[in-house]
Amino acid sequence: MSYSNLQIFIVELIGTFVLVVFATGSIVYDVQTGGTLGISFAAIAPFIALIIGIYFFGKISLAHFNPAVTIAFYITGHISKIQIAYYFAAEIIGALLGSLFVMSFIGTGAHLGANSPNPNFSLFLIFPVEVLASAMLMAVIFTVVYTKGLKGFGGIAIGGIVGLDIFFLAVVSGASMNPARALAPALLSGVLDNLWLYWTAPYVGTIIIAFLFRKKFHSKINSS
């Protein structure tokens, strides 16, 4: 069954909204509780959000919720050029609404949960780490889609790699992996210093993986 661009727009907006509320809201809430929940809570929250989004909306939009993922799916031929606009608009609007929700109902601490790299590390480490986190996410997404689609344990695998990336790599790069998730809290809190990092490195990571997987997808499409 094929779905309209409007249906894709709606589910991507909702999915990104939920992801941003969980991913950034967990950080804001942790600050309000004195940091007692820590990095584990910040890693588990988006894991849960992605499981919800993938199993509810994956069959409609492939559950991108992330502009860097959208670009990769365009490179592999899963979506058309015009659909990029629908995905990007939905993801950015959904993220902004998510940050507004966090601001209104959870709090404004930690710059609304905006991503931030660790200043104790060099940019020559921070940038590659953010590229690596995004590349690993995209590799898992493509592996899931290429093998069994977003069924079975696919959503758990994708949510799991996001959680693991945050748990192990956020201490270096902030582990955003998602330009929309980075944009919304940065804009609304006015903390834009690090935004360039999260609007470059994630695309580099996902695009590299997209070109590596491109032949597999094209051969699969041609043989079907």
Q: What is the pLDDT of residue 147?
A: 77
Q: List, in order, residues 6 or more apart from 167 with CB less than 8 Å away.
A: 39, 40, 43
Kindly tell me if the per-residue pLDDT of 219 is higher than 70.
Answer: no
How many Å apart are CA 24 and CA 212, to the nearest integer?
A: 31
For the whole prediction, is pTM greater than 0.85?
yes
**Residue percentage of the chain with pLDDT more than 90:** 90
Task: Tell me how far apart the alpha carbons of residues 53 and 18 are, in angstroms, rounded to a whole number.
Answer: 8
- pLDDT, averaged across the chain: 94
| DSSP calls for 80-92 | -HHHHHHHHHHHH
**pLDDT grade, residue 153 (50/70/90)?**
confident
The mean pLDDT value for 40-62 works out to 96
- Provide the pLDDT for residue 146: 82
Which has more pLDDT, 149 or 13? 13
Give the pLDDT band (50/70/90) at residue 152. Answer: confident
Range of the domain at 170: 5-223
CATH of residue 58's domain is 1.20.1080.10
Which positions ≥6 away from 89 have C-beta within 8 Å? Answer: 9
pLDDT at residue 218 tops 90: no
Q: Could you give the percent of the chain with pLDDT greater than 70?
A: 96
Confidence bin at 118 (pLDDT 50/70/90): very high
What is 130-179 written as a DSSP string? HHHHHHHHHHHHHHHHHHT-S-TTHHHHHHHHHHHHHHHHHHHH-----H
Token pair 């609404």: residue = 97
Domains held by the chain: number: 1
Q: Is the pLDDT of residue 43 over 50?
A: yes
Q: With contact defined as beta carbons under 8 Å apart, do 205 and 134 qualify?
A: yes
198 pLDDT higher than 80? yes
Q: What is the pLDDT of residue 120?
A: 98
Give the pLDDT band of residue 2 (cuts 50, 70, 90): confident
Q: pLDDT digit string (tens) for 69-103?
A: 999 999 999 999 999 999 999 999 999 999 999 99
CA distance 86 to 80: 10
Query: What pLDDT score does 221 carry?
Result: 47
Burial (Cβ within 10 Å: 0-12, 13-18, ≥19) of residue 69: buried
Structure confidence at residue 151 as a pLDDT band (50, 70, 90): confident
